[in-house]
């Protein structure tokens, strides 16, 4: 990355991190929620859950980035930096920061978009799988979010499977018809969509199953902790539903709040540790 681009990248990082820190203070510190959440029961389960979940998700990101120029250390730092932003900012705004950082590290915004979209796709399909599995065990009504996710996943799969045929038909039609500015723009759009499709296919080839398995492990650990943390007599289905709704910005969940707090603490410590190891390695190599 060029010096000027690196400066802009660092400034944007600093701005987003400051905004995220202010939002964290506004959401947890000012209302006085932090001491209560840190001193509540079941902290051991929460800490172990956070550690396991983010270890699995960091491995998933590294696997998705495998074969690119990004190093393992850079991948882990990237995960530790962008994840706290994603869990703090509302309405999934942190995903745009993840795309920007990933694209900058890879020197390709297109690859950044593809990697993060695939990460979200496997995360969502694993969540739906777990919810359907739990529904078979516990019964009751499925949360409305699950139906929304099912529709979304079905549309994504249909578009992916049907894209090669649609691309070929439209490309032949546009090339065989009279050239106009509008049709040239459509050809450029088709070409961009084709590049995205090829990038997605490249990541999925040989790694799709592993990404899905890792996503299942992460959600299984997270949902399993909710089962252990629920109050006696509390419906586990309602606990999970409230947790997922809060994650989507609908309502609140104490369990999610604790998960967010310890996620931030863990990943800040992990990022600092990686930087210390890198610094020590550089000093040893310069001797």
Confidence of residue 270 (pLDDT cuts 50, 70, 90): very high
pLDDT range class, residue 263, cuts 50, 70, 90: very high
| Token duo for residue 23 | 């939002």
Give the span between the Cα atoms of 124 and 67, in whole angstroms. Answer: 24
pLDDT of residue 59: 93
In whole angstroms, what is the distance from residue 94 CA to residue 85 CA? Answer: 5
79, 131, 159: which is closest to 247 by C-alpha? Answer: 131
Percent of the chain whose predicted confidence (pLDDT) is above 90: 25
pLDDT at position 249 is: 66
Q: What is the DSSP string of the chain?
A: --HHHHHHHHHHHHHHHHHHHHHHIIIIITTTHHHHHHTSTTHHHHHHHHHHHHHHHHHHHHHHHTTSS--HHHHHHHHHHHHHHHHHSGGGTHHHHHHHHHHHHHT-HHHHHHHHHHHHHHHHHHHHHHHHHHHHHH-SPPPHHHHHHHHHHHHHHHHHHHHHHHHHHHHHHHHHSPP-HHHHHHHHHHHHHHHHHHHHHHHHTTTHHHHHHHHHHHHHHHHHHHHHHSPTT--HHHHHHHHHHHHTTSS--HHHHHHHHHHHHHHHHHHHHHHHHHHHHHHHHH-
Instruction: Please tell me the predicted confidence (pLDDT) of residue 287.
Output: 65
Tens of pLDDT, residue by residue over 114-128, are 888 888 889 989 988
The answer to whether the CB of 73 falls within 8 A of the CB of 271 is no
pLDDT at 25: 87
For 81, the token pair is: 């930096």
Residue closest to 189 by CA, chosen among 204, 171, 176, 177: 171
Domain that holds residue 217: 3-286
The total number of structural domains in the chain stands at 1
Percentage of residues of the chain with pLDDT beyond 70: 95
| Residue 40 binned pLDDT confidence (cut-offs 50, 70, 90) | low
Whether the CB-CB separation of 137 and 223 falls below 8 Å is answered with no
Enter the pTM of the model. 0.85
Instruction: Classify residue 215 by burial, with Cβ atoms within 10 Å: 0-12, 13-18, 19+.
Output: buried
Whole-angstrom distance, CA of residue 238 vs CA of residue 234: 8
**Confidence category of residue 281, pLDDT binned at 50, 70, 90:** confident
Residue 15 has pLDDT above 90, yes or no: yes
At 73-101, the pLDDT tens digits run 889 999 999 999 998 888 778 889 999 99
- For residue 226, what pLDDT is reported? 86
Q: What confidence category does residue 2 fall into, taking pLDDT thresholds of 50, 70 and 90?
A: low
What are the pLDDT digits (tens) for 112-166?
888 888 888 899 899 888 888 878 877 766 777 788 888 988 998 898 889 888 8
Mean confidence (pLDDT) of the chain: 84
Distance in Å from the first CA to the final CA of the chain: 27
Alpha carbon distance 201, 206 (integer Å): 10
Q: Which of 86, 94, 143 is nearest to 267 (CA)?
A: 86
pLDDT at 177 over 90: no
Average pLDDT over residues 250-265: 84
Considering only CA atoms, which of 226, 254, 204, 216 is closest in space to residue 38?
A: 254
Encode pLDDT of 194-252 as tens digits: 888 888 888 777 788 899 999 999 999 998 888 888 777 777 777 777 787 777 667 77
State the Cα–Cα distance between residues 231 and 275, nearest whole angstrom: 40
pLDDT computed for residue 92 by the predictor = 79
The pLDDT-based confidence of 1 (bands split at 50, 70, 90) is low
Average pLDDT for 160-186:
82
């Amino acid at each position: 990355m060029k010096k000027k681009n690196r400066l802009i990248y660092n400034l944007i990082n600093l701005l987003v991190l400051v905004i995220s820190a202010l939002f964290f203070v506004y959401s947890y510190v000012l209302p006085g929620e932090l001491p209560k959440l840190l001193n509540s029961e079941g902290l051991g389960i929460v800490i172990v859950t956070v550690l396991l979940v983010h270890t699995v998700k960091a491995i998933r990101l590294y696997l998705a980035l495998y074969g690119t120029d990004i190093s393992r250390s850079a991948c882990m730092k990237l995960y530790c930096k962008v994840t706290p932003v994603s869990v703090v900012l509302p309405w999934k705004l942190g995903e745009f920061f993840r795309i920007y950082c990933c694209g900058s590290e890879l020197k390709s915004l297109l690859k950044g978009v593809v990697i993060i979209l695939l990460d979200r796709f496997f995360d969502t399909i694993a969540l739906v799988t777990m919810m359907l599995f739990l529904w078979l065990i516990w019964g009751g009504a499925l949360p409305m979010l699950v139906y929304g996710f099912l529709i979304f996943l079905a549309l994504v799969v249909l578009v992916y499977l049907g894209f090669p045929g649609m691309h070929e038909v439209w490309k032949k039609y546009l090339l065989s018809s009279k050239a106009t500015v509008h049709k040239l723009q459509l050809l450029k759009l088709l070409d961009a969509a084709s590049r995205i499709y090829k990038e997605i296919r490249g990541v999925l080839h040989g790694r799709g199953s592993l990404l899905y398995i890792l996503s299942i492990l992460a959600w299984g650990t997270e949902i399993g902790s909710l089962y252990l943390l629920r109050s006696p007599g509390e419906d586990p289905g309602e606990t999970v539903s409230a947790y997922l709704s809060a994650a989507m910005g609908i309502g609140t969940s104490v369990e999610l709040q604790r998960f967010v707090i310890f996620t931030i603490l863990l990943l800040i410590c992990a990022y600092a540790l990686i930087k210390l190891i890198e610094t020590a390695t550089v000093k040893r190599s310069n001797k």
